[in-house]
Amino acid sequence: MNDIKRGDIYLADLGEGIGSEQHGVRPVLVVQNNIGNKYSPTVTVLPITTKIHKSRGLPTHVMIDHMGGLDEKSSIMAEQISTIDKTKLFTYIGTIPEDAMKKDINEAIRIQLGLPGRKRYGRK
Could you write out the DSSP letters of every residue in the chain?
-----TTEEEEEE-----TT---SEEEEEE-S-HHHHHH-SEEEEEEEES-GGGTTT-TTEEEEES-TT-SSEEEEEGGG-EEEEGGGEEEEEEE--HHHIIIIIHHHHHHHHT--SS---S--
| 8-113 placed in CATH 3.40.1190.20 | no
pLDDT, residue 86, reads: 97
Residue 19 has pLDDT above 70, yes or no: no
pLDDT band at 50 (very low <50, low <70, confident <90, very high): confident
Residue 119 has pLDDT above 90, yes or no: no
Cα(63)–Cα(48) distance, integer angstroms: 10
pLDDT, residue 117, reads: 81
Residue 45 has pLDDT above 80, yes or no: yes
Cα(52)–Cα(68) distance, integer angstroms: 17
pTM score: 0.87
pLDDT, residue 54, reads: 62
Residue 57 has pLDDT above 80, yes or no: no
Mean pLDDT of the region 10-36: 85
Residue 37 has pLDDT above 90, yes or no: yes
More confident residue, 42 or 116: 42
Residue 124 has pLDDT above 90, yes or no: no
